[in-house]
Amino acid sequence: MSRRIFGTDGVRGTVGKEPMTAEFAMRLASAAARVLVPEGGTVLIGKDTRVSGYMFESALEAGFVAAGVDVLLLGPLPTPGIAVLTQDFKADLGVVISASHNPYHDNGIKFFDGHGAKLTDDVEKAIEEQLAHPAITVPSASLGMAKRIDTARRRYQAFCASTMPGNLTLDGLKIVFDGANGAGYKVGPRLLADLGAEVIPIGCSPNGRNINAGCGSTQPDLLTTTVPAVGADIGIALDGDGDRVVMVDENGGLIDGDQLLYILATSRHASGTLKGPVVGTVMSNLGLEHALREQSIEFRRASVGDRYVLEALRESGGTIGGETSGHMIVLDQTTTGDGLICALQILAVMKQSGVPLSKLAAGMPKYPQTMINVRVSKKMNPDDSPAIRNAVASAEASLRDSGRIVLRASGTEPVIRVMVEGRDENIVRDLAQQLADVVAEAAG
């Protein structure tokens, strides 16, 4: 289904350019209200730490209130926290103002329904159709009201803590926490400290413009050097809105989403609590698939995007899935990707087993994988280009059965992602560059 405004994770773009303007945000709120809460109701609005969040928060508030919807303003809180609190407050809709791992000059708007789930394609299409109409203002007697909620962070923190098994604590663990100067900058360190860990925070001083800048899950270099330097047991890095997580072992080694998925899957398999298949994406490392197969754990691939991982989990009866980027879903604990909850599940495995993170991840070989992002001037489907199709066929023939090639258009950025994976790093790197050159030429 073609959607003009919504991408794979809500609406996103550069602040001040369509669609990320205050005027559009107000119209979007009005359209969402007409589709999802036409008789009035309650909507929660949360955000990350971008300076533009104030502008979009006010615009969304105005659009919803004018449409007769009450608004609860939660302030900075991880995206999954909005999903949790939408259910906790029995609200009709949750709204998140965030561009996730993007730089501060971008922003985005995404929605959760009353069950804490992301909207379906059909609902998003219905909202887009309503955008063709002006924003509405109901009679004064029917206007919504808005108020700020001061307990949001504590309520979400309590929910996260409740996912730890039994009476397990983090006593004795020294953790470096990187909040990406984003939405998890406050709740992350306080959650870990309250569970008994010694916490060293970095990337926890947001100023509105430093979100994801030299920190967080997309730029974890500072974390990889800090963990061994301070003798920590583990490092945890969220992205700007807190729905992704990567970790660093005691030696400074980066542990990505594929490895985290491997640890969760094998731990649950060993304890007999793993349900259904494990779900990754077309970008998940081939080493993950092979390592799980050796332990007779079923593995399935979904399209890139946590919404598609979630759909595959629900269809198959599985409970854990995720992406290489660290967008992890633990479906028996929450409804959407949650970096903090995933991190707690990994910390629980470490505490219960007494095994350091480096050894827990060692059972999964990582095949060499090269990813090149080719910027394009407009959206394009690489499969539509004969030149690209021929180049991919030639590269696949040279890899034979020892690797994979994936080309896909990003749902959030004007880029074509070229991924090549195989046993020989030099071959993988060369093929990726060759394909990227072909894509760049085809894109004009």
Q: Identify the three-state secondary structure at position 234.
A: strand
- Largest distance between two CA atoms of the chain: 70
Distance between CA 315 and CA 116 in Å, rounded?
18
Q: Quickly tell me which residue has 């021929």 as its tokens.
A: 390
Q: Which of 418, 444, 415 is nearest to 431 (CA)?
A: 418
Which distant-in-sequence residues (6+ apart) come within 8 Å of 273 by Cβ?
A: none
Distance between CA 240 and CA 261 in Å, rounded?
21
Residue 398 φ/ψ, nearest 5 degrees = -75, -30
Handedness of CA 380, 8, 27, 124 (dihedral sign): positive
Residue 316 belongs to what H/E stretch?
helix 306-316
Which distant-in-sequence residues (6+ apart) come within 8 Å of 289 by Cβ?
A: 280, 299, 301
Distance between CA 167 and CA 170 in Å, rounded?
10
Catalytic position from the list 98, 100, 217, 267: 100
Pairing of strands 106-113, 11-14: antiparallel
* Helix, strand, coil abundance in the chain, percent, nearest 5: 40, 20, 40
Distance between CA 196 and CA 232 in Å, rounded?
14
Is 140 catalytic? The answer is no
Distances (CA, A) of 21 to 17, 67, 126: 6, 19, 21
Contact (CB, 8 A) for 423 and 365: no
131's torsion region: left (phi>0), alpha (psi -120 to 50) or beta?
Answer: alpha
**Which active-site residues does the annotation give?**
100
